[in-house]
Amino acid sequence: MLYFSPLELILKAKQEKVALGSFNVFNNEMFHAVTIAALKKKSPVIIATGEVDIQYFPPELAVSLMKIYSKKFDIPFLLHLDHCTQVELAEKCLRCGYSSIMFDGSQLPYEENVEKTRSVVKIAQWFGVPVEGELGVILGTREFFESTTQKDDQLKITDPEAARDFVLRTGIHTLAPSIGSAHGVYVKKPKIHFDILKRISKATKIPLVLHGGSGIPVEDVHRCIEEGVAKVNVGTDLRRTLVDTIVHEGVNPYVEARTVMEKSRDAIVTVVENWLDILKSSIILQ
């Protein structure tokens, strides 16, 4: 088993102008698929479980699987809690053995976001775990594209000076800014605010995280990495692949459920491999 701290890997990714892939999963097949792809590509990966997924995929189960795969293979697998909105849940996952935490207070008033994010950072320090914070509002794609005015759009985008203040006051290790990406299926090409991203990177001087990676053109992902992004979150690509495979295979009334899940896993492996190539994250272990 190779050991690297999450922050060490992210800082190296930033230095090498590549990015770690963070893949959202909520069942064993998805979890297994990410590890298979990581082994094939000899790349570290972050396996993320969102707050909304925990009812299906409890933290204790995720940690148990992580321990099994980490002992078996010489690839760093990091377990990350994504979009956590409850301080108590963040502490629970830390006690279970998560190696990375994202606290999302972006929907809160600014001062409350600062206060709660800072409290998670203090708790995480006891476990030696880095914390990702969010500033600005990274919505779902449906909500995002319902904006009808330029003013609405700008309200979602992170202000670089506010980002500087947020990082200084909370002590977070990575920041997820709102720069034009969104969660879910894009109905049109997202407009990434590269100028804002560059200013945020310069103002904060910490690794940045791109949320809503699924559907962003490869050239835009690469430009984000050039401007300071060191971690890219991918969830929708995996979820859609799972659903599409089940729907396609399920047409056959004689197909075994186990066979459908195996094909779903294999299809997700291909998706993750493609993303690891895009992010060039295998460089981190060289």
Separation of alpha carbons 181 and 73, rounded Å: 34
Separation of alpha carbons 185 and 214, rounded Å: 8
Binding-site residue positions for Zn(2+): 83, 104, 134, 183, 211
- Residue 166: count of CB within 10 angstroms of its CB: 26
Residues 6+ apart with CB under 8 A from 52: 83
- In eight-state DSSP terms, residue 180 is S
Q: What are phi and psi of 20, to 5 degrees?
A: -80, 140
Q: Which of 82, 159, 220, 237 is catalytic?
A: 82
Binding-site residue positions for dihydroxyacetone phosphate: 184, 212-214, 233-236
Binding-site residue positions: 83, 104, 134, 183-184, 211-214, 233-236
Q: What are phi and psi of 40, to 5 degrees?
A: -65, -35
Q: Clarify whether 82 is annotated catalytic.
A: yes
How far CA 226 is from CA of 59, 160, 181, 207, in Å, comes to 34, 17, 16, 11
Question: For the chain, where are the alpha helices, taking DSSP H only?
Answer: 6-16, 28-41, 59-72, 87-96, 110-125, 141-145, 150-156, 160-170, 194-204, 218-226, 236-249, 257-279
**Residues designated catalytic:** 82
